[in-house]
Amino acid sequence: MALFEVTLILLLIAVALAALSRRLEIPYPSLLALAGAGLAFLPGAPMIEIDPELALALFIAPVLLDAAYDTSLRDLHRYRLSLVLLALGAVVFTAVVVAFVGWKMAGLPIAAAIALGAIVAPPDAVAASTVLNQFKVPHRLTAILQGESLLNDATALLIYRIAVSAAIGSLMLKDAVPVILLSTVGSVAAGYLFGRFSLLTLTRIEDAASSTVVQFAGTFAVWIIADRIGLSAIITIVVYAITIARTAPRQMSARRRVSTYSVWESAVFVLNVLAFVLMGLQARSIVGRLSGEGQGDAFVFAATVLAVVIVARLVWVLGYVAVIRRFARFDSEEQRRDAPTFRGAVLVGWCGMRGLVTLVAAIALPAGFPGRDPIVLAAFAVVLGTLVLQGMSLKPLLRRLNFERDTTVDREVAQARVAIMQAALDVLSRKTTAAAAVVREQYEAQRLVAENPEDAQAATEYDRLRLYAINRQRDTLQELRRNGTIGDEAYHRLEEEIDWAELAASPAGRFQPLTTY
């Protein structure tokens, strides 16, 4: 019961912190990490252990699917070189350097040291994106960071699973290569097949609540099945999500889509909060077990790992950008313009905040894992340190780097908006009724707005009149319920209809997605 109460309090605190982060223009995970750290010093906080397999499935599966669902295949292909160098090269480089430090400094077994390296290697783009979106940095950088955040999870967690298996004696490191190859190929095929099967199921469910439940159940089922048959659950989930993301939105009704996106956004937020709660409680129990000289050594080791993680990423990113720019001298002028810059390298290198994946991977270590306490403490220090040091300094850094505002996405949205308005006009051109004429006139007005990107959020005269009328409708509906003419069921049904009408008439509702998920 104590854990439940603490979790409820932390959820409410997290909501307040999210509002505060928007006001201060800093990543909300940074404040969430500080709140989780505060649990380690909270008197009377409960001690808790969570099953490792449950931790990975509960936290990682939905978050990975959520990130993969939004992944742009076009951007993955366009920036494939940078993504490979970051999602594969940077992860392996960081894992190796950290593993060496863990082996030399803390005396960890090789497999356990590699597991530590894999835990702290993958950055999380969520914290960075909240700040980057405010400054409209070059789209290339945001696309690379988001793509890296997805792919590096798969790389790091694959290394993590193999290292953990080797540490507990169920796999020899020398046998890891064939396991990786088999796991990768089989997981890609399984993810695609699971995705196609899921599409057949989801298209037959009309109820929004049932559809959302099936999506969550399907996500956990894919993870569990892949894990049970020896595949990489991470790669399987990523491919599964990308497969359904290409087709499912067009086959879902608007009501199901809006409901589903809202639920997933809330669920990911709650999972982040719970992960920081569990990590804070874990850190409390670890600090309690460590005493005397051992406690000091553990804190020094955790601080060293934090420093190594930050420096290793900067060295790797600046190093490969220097190499690419050196060879770019022999390319055409257009290719030289597209080459990565050192300003961009500094930003990408500094956007190395660790988040949910690092937290959960550390929590998921088995109870008897060699060096578990210093590993978990180091992971917590890396998450807290990177979110606070890098997350809170990201805004001043962006001001210092002074990137030109990138409107690539805005231009693409404006172009597509004009095209879809014209498509509506074309299909209505064959209709000659009075109602069709009114609708055509509305679409023509909206197309004029869409053709002027600088005024893209301006409402048309029709929208202003509709919003004016809708406001009166709400007053009347409220009065009908107040005087007892209608009951609550009728009230809420009509309220929902008015909500949809307001979304359709509002520029923010019509021209902006309700969520990015």
Q: List the single range of 300-314, 379-393, 420-434, 449-463 with lowest mean pLDDT.
A: 449-463
Higher local confidence (pLDDT), 515 or 434: 434
Check whether residue 42 and residue 152 sit in a common domain.
yes
Q: List the single range of 50-54, 139-143, 366-370, 470-474 with lowest mean pLDDT.
A: 50-54
Question: Rounded to an integer, what is the distance from CA 33 to the centroid of its chain?
Answer: 16
Check whether residue 158 and residue 228 sit in a common domain.
yes
Q: Is 293 exposed, middle or buried (0-12, 13-18, 19+ CB in 10 A)?
A: exposed
pLDDT grade for 10, boundaries at 50, 70 and 90: confident
DSSP state of 330: T
Q: List the single range of 308-312, 320-324, 508-512 with lowest mean pLDDT.
A: 508-512
Tokens for 393, please give them: 């300094």
pLDDT grade for 256, boundaries at 50, 70 and 90: confident
Check whether residue 424 and residue 334 sit in a common domain.
no
Instruction: Assign residue 23 the CATH number of its domain.
Output: 1.20.1530.20
Residue of 27, 25, 7, 5 lying closest to 354 (CA atoms): 27
Q: Are 222 and 60 in contact (CB under 8 A)?
A: no
Question: Rounded to an integer, what is the distance from CA 486 to the centroid of its chain?
Answer: 43
3-state per-residue secondary structure call for 43-89: CCCCCCCCCHHHHHHHHHHHHHHHHHHCCCHHHHHHCHHHHHHHHHH
Check whether residue 122 and residue 206 sit in a common domain.
yes
| CA 441 vs CA 142, 274, 424, 492, 506: distances in Å | 38, 50, 11, 32, 17
Check whether residue 399 and residue 510 sit in a common domain.
no
Check whether residue 223 and residue 334 sit in a common domain.
yes
Count of structural domains, the chain: 3
Q: Are 57 and 220 in contact (CB under 8 A)?
A: yes
Check whether residue 353 and residue 479 sit in a common domain.
no
Q: Per-residue pLDDT for 455 more than 70? A: no
In the chain, the percentage of residues whose pLDDT exceeds 90 is: 15
pLDDT grade for 134, boundaries at 50, 70 and 90: low
Check whether residue 508 and residue 427 sit in a common domain.
no
Domain holding 196, by residue range, is 1-405
Q: Per-residue pLDDT for 229 more than 60? A: yes
pLDDT grade for 312, boundaries at 50, 70 and 90: very high
Per-state percent for the chain, helix, strand, coil, to nearest 5: 80, 0, 20
Q: List the single range of 68-82, 90-104, 352-366, 460-474 with lowest mean pLDDT.
A: 460-474
Q: Are 349 and 318 in contact (CB under 8 A)?
A: yes
Check whether residue 472 and residue 389 sit in a common domain.
no
pLDDT of amino acid 304: 95
pLDDT, tens digit, for every residue of 167-226?
Answer: 887 666 555 666 677 778 888 999 999 999 988 888 788 787 888 888 899 999 999 999
Q: Per-residue pLDDT for 105 more than 80? A: yes
pLDDT of amino acid 222: 93
Which one of 363, 380, 405 terminates a domain?
405
* DSSP calls for 109-163: -HHHHHHHHHHHS---HHHHHHHHHHHT--HHHHHHHHHHHHHHHHHHHHHHHHH
pTM: 0.78
pLDDT of amino acid 185: 86
**CA distance between the termini of the chain:** 33
Longest CA–CA span in the chain (Å) reads 86
pLDDT, tens digit, for every residue of 392-418?
Answer: 888 888 888 888 877 777 777 777 777
Three-state DSSP class for residue 170 = coil
Check whether residue 308 and residue 438 sit in a common domain.
no
Check whether residue 250 and residue 301 sit in a common domain.
yes
Query: What average pLDDT is seen over the chain?
Result: 80
Higher local confidence (pLDDT), 500 or 220: 220
Check whether residue 383 and residue 418 sit in a common domain.
no
pLDDT of amino acid 291: 60
